[in-house]
Structure 1
């Protein structure tokens, strides 16, 4: 009996073990099925979002800086698996005589001056470089490089559009600023160090140190009294790093050398920085070794005709773009004209409407419409790599847009319409067969359009093409008659086969 009881206990334990294993396996399977179902629903949700007609308009805007002297607004990159490289778009506005205080970012910037004039100071290869830029200028600020900007336009608001490259960023948000100058707002990175460390490093008293690090309360963009005088950081950064503390400590209120034991003050620093001697009122356009800016408006258009022009800037013409791997373009269309339907085989692109209104049409790979939306000044759109698209100006006036591409290499768009379209290159019986038309029909289709790249609408075609328009209408009428005849023949054939 005891032996049977032992065997029964063993069998029971084995059964319990089997049940536990099976239960665990079933639990794992159920968890896997639940995760798979959740993934399925997530993909369906993404697909529904992807199919949204407004998907390619960027409207996720965030004001990251706002002061009396200016603001910075950022439009976030879409979270999409079809986007090869995420990029935020920034809009900086600065009032006359204002300063964007010295800082460095965890992201590279490519600046485009939309309106006004700006002086950018930048640490480049351990030296201060300054560039004075005007409307149309493009300039790159590398991630980690200390820079500042001053609105030097006389009574003019400064407007800058910039790309914010997230590929180098360590932050989850738009970007991360590390302010060099600052006080209570913004807070300088210096404030994070121990007081003894800073007092020793700058060779100043605790009192003066606290005074300096608590004065600034106006924010990252502040007003300055005279934008033409050499800036605070312009002069300070020109002093060799090892001499900064001693230099500051040894300047008296007259700007002259003082005894080493003479008390240091904020006025000493101001005297050192601004000085009383030889204020240069001339407009310096270039100092230091940093690459110069590049003006898009001064560049000869890559393409131009009676209906508009376009400019593209890549790393071959402006080498700093190669370091970021980002290209720049600018397009101006006359009223009613269009950029011919085309695809970008090497890059996605972001566009910002600078002037006028127009329509952006984008097509899905399956041949359905992804977006057919009117845009106006200030709107931002994006086009995935490989997706066919076109831009059409309204008939009320010119349509101008600027943008960035996710590649700094030469972008060779492939046009789907116009006298230089890919169908002209592919012209062969194979193309006619693909459309199930005759070669004569294909020839008529391809020979009808004489213009390339930027095309006119029928309403704005020049007078000398009125005859051409009448010929096209007549050919269209004949084609419709031929099509009707073919349909009648096919109907009779179906009836005979059915009989």
Structure 2
């Protein structure tokens, strides 16, 4: 998989600017009144928002920005909806730096997983007794443990470095500080919180020298000279422990693996927790799906994992079946449902379609057990980066295609489930010979006509 997963603004939205493209994503289709499954107050809260599973560019806040780059951060997922309580303690951030830049040393009170979506650079992790440095390229995955001091270099002469980061705070659930830095005035150094007498004693240095040292620099992303970049790259990058285990001179790359699913309609690359100790400790999986223009996925659901999906290129749409929304829309408040438990059990759940348009920068959430389909627009490939939370022992269950789970039912179970002869069930569910990626509805219509 060559190239980049996060193209320049001009290459996105079919040549439109990001602002022009954003208008299209604002028209996310959703036909429901959103819920609150425990209290009436939650129901009222959900009614104020029409899209709890979809977050767009304007939902990001800019945590820091200089002329050389910026860090954007999504708010806590539960600020969007209490339906997202399962991922409350995760935050999604995107770092973008201009060519020939340096991200000054800093640490966070959160564990982080880096995924490089564009460009090349190097990263250094500073431990108490050593440094580990790694080259970075598109597709690389690296864990940054909480509290580790880190600095980054974009060593390209002409290309941005873009890194997508999923963070798991370790102090306050769902909250972390985006920058703990030792030097400088803007942003403020953590040393500035200490009294001058304590710093003089701790550093065995006069006050005036300390003040000069901590009173410099503007911003965390700054310009670096070509000579400085060459010097840091030459002296530091080259050794270290591969985050997937074993000795390596590089981080591990998602695209060094064979895709788990691949045909003419798309490819799916994935690193699961059982393949990577660092992902296992954080209970995460990382994937990348590339849809051929006009193609679609099978309807499928995850058994345990909540998928946080970020569109990095292309356009399309998704549809998802959700029982939580319909339970309120058709069942009333939680108190009224509780007064008729027998009626509730006999009727079973009612599903509401949640659907949304997709374009670069849109984030959409798929909870476990919720069947979902994603479709690429006809004109260009659709590319999506996925972070799967609670991924240990997760299984992906396809509902269509050559190995769908309906085909695994016994003939009697099929007849009872669909109130039709098993032969007729098979005529529907055994008719699709492809697996996971399919020809999309427009492609199929054009081929048939």
Give me the TM-score of the superposition, normalised by structure 1.
0.70
Match in the other structure for 1:65? 64
Of 324-333 and 449-458, deviating more is: 449-458
Asked if 1 retains the 8 angstrom alpha-carbon contact of 2:407 and 2:430, the reply is: no
In the alignment, the residues of structure 2 paired with residue 284 and residue 93 of structure 1 have an alpha-carbon distance, to the nearest angstrom, of 22
- Aligned CA distance change for structure 1 residues 430 and 46 (closer, same or farther; 3 Å): farther
| Residue 147, structure 1, aligned to residue 105, structure 2 | no
Match in the other structure for 1:78? 77
Asked if 2 retains the 8 angstrom alpha-carbon contact of 1:182 and 1:213, the reply is: yes
SS in structure 2 at match of 1:286: coil
SS in structure 2 at match of 1:214: coil
In the alignment, the residues of structure 2 paired with residue 134 and residue 117 of structure 1 have an alpha-carbon distance, to the nearest angstrom, of 4
SS in structure 2 at match of 1:164: strand
1:403 paired residue among 342, 362, 386: 386
Deviation at 1:172, TM superposition (A): 6.3
1:108 paired residue among 111, 114, 126: 111
Deviation at 1:284, TM superposition (A): 6.1
Equivalent residues in 2 for 1:29-178, closer than 5 Å: 40-46=39-45, 48=47, 52=50, 54-59=51-56, 60-79=59-78, 80-86=82-88, 87-124=90-127, 126-166=129-169, 168-170=170-172, 173=175, 175-178=176-179
In the alignment, the residues of structure 1 paired with residue 293 and residue 106 of structure 2 have an alpha-carbon distance, to the nearest angstrom, of 42
Deviation at 1:184, TM superposition (A): 1.7
In the alignment, the residues of structure 1 paired with residue 91 and residue 270 of structure 2 have an alpha-carbon distance, to the nearest angstrom, of 20
Pick 1 or 2: higher relative contact order, CA cutoff 8 A, min separation 6: 2
Match in the other structure for 1:222? 222
| Structure that is richer in helix per residue | 1
RMSD between superposed Cα atoms in Å: 2.5
CA offset digits 1:45-78 (Å, max 9, x no partner): 145368x3x2210243111111111100011242
| Residue 310, structure 1, aligned to residue 268, structure 2 | yes
In the alignment, the residues of structure 2 paired with residue 324 and residue 195 of structure 1 have an alpha-carbon distance, to the nearest angstrom, of 39
- Aligned CA distance change for structure 1 residues 370 and 447 (closer, same or farther; 3 Å): closer
Asked if 1 retains the 8 angstrom alpha-carbon contact of 2:322 and 2:353, the reply is: yes
Match in the other structure for 1:339? 297
Deviation at 1:171, TM superposition (A): 6.9
Deviation at 1:285, TM superposition (A): 4.3
In the alignment, the residues of structure 2 paired with residue 69 and residue 116 of structure 1 have an alpha-carbon distance, to the nearest angstrom, of 15
Deviation at 1:187, TM superposition (A): 1.2
- When Rg is computed on C-alpha atoms for both structures, the one with the higher figure is 1
| Residue 286, structure 1, aligned to residue 238, structure 2 | yes
CA offset digits 1:470-497 (Å, max 9, x no partner): 9xxxxxxxxxxxxxxxxxxxxxxxxxxx
Asked if 1 retains the 8 angstrom alpha-carbon contact of 2:304 and 2:391, the reply is: no
Deviation at 1:383, TM superposition (A): 0.8
Match in the other structure for 1:6? none
In the alignment, the residues of structure 1 paired with residue 260 and residue 364 of structure 2 have an alpha-carbon distance, to the nearest angstrom, of 23
CA offset digits 1:394-416 (Å, max 9, x no partner): 11121110010112425320011
Asked if 2 retains the 8 angstrom alpha-carbon contact of 1:124 and 1:289, the reply is: no
SS in structure 2 at match of 1:222: strand
Unaligned runs of 5+ in 2: 1-37, 244-249, 324-348
Asked if 2 retains the 8 angstrom alpha-carbon contact of 1:105 and 1:176, the reply is: yes
Match in the other structure for 1:182? 183
Deviation at 1:193, TM superposition (A): 2.1
Deviation at 1:308, TM superposition (A): 0.7
In the alignment, the residues of structure 2 paired with residue 286 and residue 308 of structure 1 have an alpha-carbon distance, to the nearest angstrom, of 35
Asked if 2 retains the 8 angstrom alpha-carbon contact of 1:110 and 1:164, the reply is: yes
Equivalent residues in 2 for 1:252-401, closer than 5 Å: 282=234, 285-289=237-241, 291=243, 293-365=251-323, 366-401=349-384
CA offset digits 1:294-321 (Å, max 9, x no partner): 2112221011111111011122222211
